[in-house]
Amino acid sequence: MKYIDYVQLNPFQKIWYNLKTFFIALPGNIVKICKAIGRFFKKLGLGIGKGVAGYFSRFVKGDWATKLSYIIMGFGNMMKGQIVKGLIFLATEVAFIAFMIFFGANKIYNLGFFSGGTIGFNGEDYWVDKDGVSIAISHGRPVAHVRADDSMQLLLYGVMTLIIIAVFLVIYFASVKSAYKVEQQVAAGEKPATFGQEMKAFADEKFHITLLSFPCLTISLFTIMPLIFMILIAFTNYTKSTPFFGWVGLQTFSEVFQTTGGANKGETFIELTKWTLLWAVCATVLNYILGMIVALLINKKGIKLKALWRTMFVITVAVPQFVSLLLMQQMLEGNEFGAINQLLKGLGWLASDGGTVQYIDFLGNANKWIPRLTVIVVNIWVGIPYTILITSGILMNIPADLYESATIDGAGPTRTFFSITLPYMLFVTTPYLITTFIGNINNFNVIYLLVGEQSSVDLHNAGYTDLLVTWLFRMSTSTGEYNTAAAVGILVFIVCATVSLLTFNLTKSAKNEEEFS
């Protein structure tokens, strides 16, 4: 392998060398990530196996009270004097059994079925719900009356039931373990802890459990459960026109990648994926580099009124972003009412055809790249102040002796920037850059508030400036393609997770966390 002295490379050679190194190392890092995922599942499997082995081992070694606790939760605790704790375990078991009998059992398997019969949907027949009874309509005439289950409620209750089952299993295994533990304490001549003593422990050595209980509960209810619900929607045929839906497996995902026919989902997905990644790179890199350069200019020695310049950018950040974007939308209108077009007309920069002024359609779909370039420029104007605020403090902390040594060695401003400033900033702010990149992939505000709901005839319910996140939003709110929107959301998550892992594992911030070099 040819030796390359990285220090002696010029800035552009360094950029090319880093890009080449990135793509050369990419397959190896993919393999490393796959191995890491494999090790995780291996540890998970070993942990589950160890838990199952311990479960049966306690049954074999335990006395009759412990064995009976496998059927009657809390029995072993009550026999060893922990009456209150045992009754709590028993009440949990009774409540769970009652819940499953009267509510939960039929919520798991019943999605897509009707209690009064089964009705197909072929695009012409649909259902009208009236007083809890669904009337099947065919060609404008009622053909049947059946009481139908609400698929949305069934799916929601099914997810809730699965979570409740998981929580119950955790409590069940804890009760078995507790029964065996108290048996061992009694056999060793120790007095089991009372219920009051165990409660006091939650205010002392187990206080972390007390603090984390409520956050974990709210995360489960408002984050984990909606995520599971959204993921499951992708495996159904749920749309606005199918209120009673069922499972379709991977059919929705195959439709997302289907490229036959005009304005289909597959070609739209590929086109918007390319544009989303290009947008994320431009929005991240340009804001970062230009913001850093402006911060360097403001902090440069000899610049007067530094506080004024910083205040001007802070005021820009203080204005709500949606106000700025809606204002820019009005200014960029592609007609005589647009302020930018009026300015260009006054300067004589607009072409005319037979006396008719040809206004520039900054945000329309007549041309693919004009609106895309427009949103990138507007995002630079909106995003640079944030970069200035973040990088200013870091720039002030770069050791001054590095710049002094570079000056002595004859390095100019450009060489100093690419050899000292930029590497130092990248080392410190790489995690921020990754989160910014992922945020730009999901940058809903800039695209939607600036462009609005414009669609192109060449795309499936999307415009040229739409990102994947705005596309799935439109499919959810406008056309009601909830299953496709959920599938696209899953694919966006996979892209974001993969890019984040690959990028971060190739940076010095991950490889050398202790020092900057």
User: What is the per-residue pLDDT across 121-137, written as a single tens digit (0 to 9) for each?
Assistant: 444 444 444 444 444 44
Chain-centre distance for alpha carbon 390:
23
What's the rounded Cα separation, in Å, for the pair 172 and 167? 9
Nearest Cα neighbor of 326 from 451, 437, 223 is: 451
- For residue 66, how many other CB atoms are within 10 A of its CB? 24
**Six-digit token pair at 248?**
């379709």
Residue 353 phi/psi, 5-degree rounding, is -125, 100
Instruction: Please enumerate in sequence order all residues whose Cβ is within 8 A of that of 371, keeping only pairs 6 or more positions apart, or say none.
Output: 361, 362, 363, 364, 365, 451, 463, 464, 465
Positions in the chain short of pLDDT 50:
1-3, 112-148, 516-517
| Mean pLDDT over the full length of the chain | 80
Domains of the chain, by residue range, sit at 6-54, 62-113+151-196, 270-511
Are the C-beta atoms of 374 and 338 separated by less than 8 Å? Answer: no
CB 393 within 8 A of CB 299: no
Look at residue 31 in the predicted model and tell me its pLDDT: 79
Separation between Cα atoms, residue 245 and residue 113, nearest integer Å: 9
In whole angstroms, what is the distance from residue 482 CA to residue 240 CA?
7
Cβ neighbours around 459 below 10 Å, total: 20
Tell me which amino acid residue 294 is. Answer: V
- pLDDT score recorded for residue 7: 60
- Is it true that domain 270-511 has CATH number 3.60.21.10? no
CA atoms 296, 297, 302, 307: torsion sign: negative
Q: Distance between CA 221 and CA 213 in Å, rounded?
A: 12
- Listed in sequence order, the residues at least 6 apart from 259 whose beta carbon sits closer than 8 Å to its beta carbon are 266, 267, 270
Read off the pTM: 0.75
Which residues contact residue 331 at a Cβ distance below 8 angstroms, ignoring those fewer than 6 apart? Answer: 338, 339, 340
